[in-house]
Amino acid sequence: MDPATERALVLRCRAGDDDAFRELVDEYKNLVFALIARTVQDRGRAEDLAQEVFLRVHRGLPYFRGEARLSTWIYRIVANVCVQDQSRGRTHVSLDDERTSVRPSAADPQFRDLELRDRLEKAIARLPPNYRLLVAAHYLEGIQYEELAAALQLPLGTLKTQLHRAKQQLRRLLETDLR
């Protein structure tokens, strides 16, 4: 969405136009949902948190000054909602959790790949919340480095360093399984 259209949409939302807010939700719902679903794993919880994001957007629109892009502001809300949710109660996820692990036939490469993905998701769940969000956002199409840095209020260099560390931690968590 170009900045002019974005500004017009925000103005219409602020004037109490419900159709404009519907447009805003439709525009950002997939990115917001994907970002949260990649961070919290549980789809039901992700839906609840994504709705919470739009509730906060609706409440905050009268105070949105338009200094940042609307998308940047929304990603910042996503980050706050995810971090708050994760600080409420974090369960330790083991990479060998019997209850949820995929138990493939070792010889089948497709199943082997499925197992790797399963282990990757569990390894991501063990990352600190800010790293988890970074990994979720960076590999999501449509989110730029600069926008992510602005949303998380981090200098671009720090963001890249944190992303690098997050991937390093992931590799170390998975290393024994991948070899």
Partner 1 sequence: MFCDEALEVVESIAAGDLIADGRIAGHLETCADCAAALESARRVERLLRQRAAPSAPAHFTAATLGRVRRARWQSDQWLDAGFNLAVAAIVVAIVAAVWMVLNRSGLAAVSGDAVHLFGSGLATFADRVAPAVPLYAGAAALLATALGIWWWAEGKA
Residue 34 lies near partner 1 (rule: CB under 8 A): yes
CA distance 44 to 64: 29
Q: Is residue 164 near partner 1 by the rule CB under 8 A?
A: yes
Measured from the CB atom, the residue of 43 and 90 that comes closer to partner 1 is 43
Q: Binding to partner 1 (CB under 8 A): which residues in 37-66? A: 37-38, 43, 46-47, 50-51, 54-55, 58-59
Distance CA 16, CA 2 (A): 22
Q: Are 135 and 174 contacting, i.e. CB atoms less than 8 angstroms apart?
A: no
Q: How many CB atoms lie within 10 A of CB 127?
A: 20
Of the pair 67, 109, the CB lying nearest partner 1 is at 109
Choosing from 116, 126, 130, 154, the residue that interacts with partner 1 (CB under 8 A) is: 116
What DSSP state is assigned to residue 139?
A: T
What whole-number distance in Å separates Cα of residue 11 and Cα of residue 20? 9
> Burial, 165: exposed, middle or buried (Cβ in 10 Å; 0-12, 13-18, 19+)?
middle
| Three-class DSSP category at 152 | coil
Among 9, 135, 148, 152, interactor with partner 1 by CB under 8 A: 135
Segment 136-155, which members bind partner 1 (CB under 8 A)? 139-141
Residues interacting with partner 1, by CB under 8 A?
18, 21-22, 25-26, 29-30, 32-34, 37-38, 43, 46-47, 50-51, 54-55, 58-59, 116-117, 120, 135, 139-141, 164, 167-168, 170-171, 174-175, 178-179
